[in-house]
């Protein structure tokens, strides 16, 4: 059932409280940009433990300005598979949680990440590239989004509906590598919330993500038998050739499954060319639009691996999972898209929601049973590259949109409990 004209009018109408909040946000526009630039100058690549640890206290301090309890949590080390197929462990930065008014009638979960994809020393300059844009690491993805979240909450808490809405925020240090340390925090916060808001960047045009595929990461560790490639090649069993056979089989799976994508990202292993390689690690990513196809993809991989293991002297171990389940459109998501679009009408905006193969913490929130909007951050583009940019006039726009959503959730114009019930 779509919204009535009366519903749309009510959501698009700006109350005096809305106007006051928007004025406050616009007065903070330059400060939002300055804070984002300041934060982007600190490298927080996902594997930069020192950078993550040094940045986390800045988040604790910034979110301490809210009427909320802010905590920093050390997490268990993240398991990694090295190029020899052995398990290693990485201690990521802390998860930051922010909790306020857990007894309020409306509960919102908010998520964001402070890690970026850029290792220390690879992309550090921040430049004005004209046309109202800045280029720099994490400006859009997603330190700008965290600033938008913070300023929207400040504006909301300055208004009259504060006590009607509570929230739980998870700021993670490992989103770009899968949320393996922070996922339990997100799940716990999401399970008790009515609605989720995540602050990944919107597209430059303002378009937002609709349905999302699920994502899997697998490391397939192949073991063979080393031997001298000149004196006794027949005595060896090549793990790299087994991995290559598996990779060619994955290519056929990718061609056969229209809506599922498989990508062999790397094959690591071996040593000198005069040694038959006894180890190889194949790095594989999968995207699937729903759980049925995700399960089929995994079964197909297992069948392929059994075929490869018919090679004499080869063993293998498949390590990984669909760490982010699919986030398809359903009745709850569709209704949430409608009310957010109608709310954007108060800002003179018309939103579009485009399905994507990309994944984010919105997938995790959906898995916990909570409908969510996951691209409420700044507008930008070319993320995950040295051409990443942010559109400067989107800071006030996106913070304003979030504040209006919060106002409507609190005053009942957006019926959070009803939307949540549509997940059943």
pLDDT digits (tens, 9 = 90+) for 216-239: 999 999 999 999 999 999 999 999
pLDDT at 123 over 60: yes
Question: What is the pLDDT averaged over residues 98-107?
Answer: 98
Segment holding 107, helix H or strand E: strand 106-113
Say whether both 116 and 175 belong to one domain: yes
Task: Provide the 8-state DSSP code for 200.
Answer: P
Question: What is the pLDDT averaged over residues 167-186?
Answer: 97
Residue 246: closest CA among 170, 184, 173, 301: 301
Say whether both 306 and 177 belong to one domain: no
The pLDDT score that the predictor gives to residue 284 is 98
Say whether both 97 and 219 belong to one domain: no
Portion of the chain with pLDDT greater than 70, in percent: 100
Q: What pTM did the predictor assign?
A: 0.94
Cβ neighbours, 10 Å, residue 390: 32
- The DSSP bridge pattern shows strands 214-223 and 95-100 to be unpaired
The pLDDT score that the predictor gives to residue 413 is 97
Say whether both 275 and 385 belong to one domain: no
Distance set, CA 145 to CA 25, 74, 200, 370, 391 (Å)? 14, 23, 6, 20, 12
User: Where does 137-238 have alpha helices with state H?
Assistant: 144-157, 183-191
Which of residues 324, 349, 383 is at a domain's end?
324
Segment holding 217, helix H or strand E: strand 214-223
382 lies in which domain range?
5-212+327-421
Question: What is the pLDDT averaged over residues 304-318?
Answer: 97
Say whether both 198 and 240 belong to one domain: no
Kindly indicate the confidence band of residue 424, based on its pLDDT and cuts at 50, 70 and 90: confident
Say whether both 180 and 44 belong to one domain: yes
pLDDT at 272 over 90: yes
Say whether both 38 and 161 belong to one domain: yes
Mean residue pLDDT of the chain comes to: 97
Say whether both 192 and 276 belong to one domain: no
**Spatial contact of 209 and 354, defined as CB atoms under 8 Å apart:** yes
Kindly indicate the confidence band of residue 2, based on its pLDDT and cuts at 50, 70 and 90: confident
Question: What is the pLDDT averaged over residues 57-81?
Answer: 97
Question: What is the pLDDT averaged over residues 255-271?
Answer: 95
Say whether both 136 and 267 belong to one domain: no
CATH code where residue 123 lies: 3.40.630.10
Say whether both 196 and 230 belong to one domain: no
Say whether both 309 and 271 belong to one domain: yes
Say whether both 338 and 240 belong to one domain: no
pLDDT at 1 over 60: no
Tally of domains within the chain: 2
pLDDT at 14 over 80: yes
Separation between Cα atoms, residue 267 and residue 265, nearest integer Å: 7
By annotation, the residues acting in catalysis are: 115, 175
Question: What is the pLDDT averaged over residues 10-34?
Answer: 98
């Amino acid at each position: 059932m779509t919204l009535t004209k009366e519903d749309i009018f009510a959501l698009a109408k700006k109350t005096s409280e809305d106007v006051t909040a928007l004025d406050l946000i616009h007065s903070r526009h330059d400060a939002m940009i300055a804070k984002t630039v300041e934060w982007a100058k600190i490298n927080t690549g996902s594997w930069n433990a020192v950078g993550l640890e040094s940045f986390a206290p800045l988040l604790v301090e910034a979110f301490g300005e809210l009427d909320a309890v802010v905590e920093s949590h050390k997490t268990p080390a993240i398991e990694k598979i090295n190029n020899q197929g052995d398990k290693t462990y990485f201690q990521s930065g802390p998860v930051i949680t922010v909790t306020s008014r857990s007894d309020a009638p409306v509960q919102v979960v908010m998520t964001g990440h402070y890690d970026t994809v850029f290792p220390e020393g690879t992309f550090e300059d921040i430049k004005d590239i004209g046309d109202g844009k800045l280029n720099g690491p994490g400006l859009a993805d997603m330190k700008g989004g965290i600033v938008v979240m913070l300023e929207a909450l400040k504006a909301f808490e300055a208004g009259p509906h504060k006590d009607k809405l509570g929230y739980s925020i998870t700021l993670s240090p490992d989103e770009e590598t899968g949320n393996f340390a922070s996922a339990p925090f997100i799940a716990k916060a999401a399970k008790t919330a009515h609605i989720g808001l995540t602050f990944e960047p919107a597209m430059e045009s303002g378009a937002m993500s609709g349905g999302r595929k699920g994502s899997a990461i697998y490391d397939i560790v192949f073991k063979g038998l080393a031997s001298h490639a000149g004196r006794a090649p027949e005595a060896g069993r090549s793990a790299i050739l087994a991995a290559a056979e598996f990779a060619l089989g994955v290519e056929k799976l990718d061609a056969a499954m229209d809506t599922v994508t498989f990508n062999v990202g790397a094959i690591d292993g071996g040593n000198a060319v005069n040694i038959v390689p006894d180890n190889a690690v194949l790095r594989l990513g999968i995207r699937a639009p729903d759980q049925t196809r995700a399960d089929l993809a995994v079964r197909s991989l297992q069948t392929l691996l059994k075929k490869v293991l018919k090679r004499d002297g080869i063993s293998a171990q498949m390590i990984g999972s669909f760490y982010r389940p699919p986030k398809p459109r359903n009745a709850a998501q569709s209704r949430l898209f409608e009310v957010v679009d109608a709310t954007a009408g108060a800002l003179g905006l018309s939103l579009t929601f485009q399905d994507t193969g990309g994944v984010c913490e919105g997938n995790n929130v959906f898995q916990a049973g909570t409908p969510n909007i996951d691209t409420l951050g700044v507008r930008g583009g070319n993320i995950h590259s040295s051409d990443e940019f942010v559109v400067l006039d989107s800071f006030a726009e996106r913070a304003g949109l979030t504040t209006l959503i919060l106002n409507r959730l609190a005053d009942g114009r957006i019926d959070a409990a009803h939307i949540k019930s549509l997940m059943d």
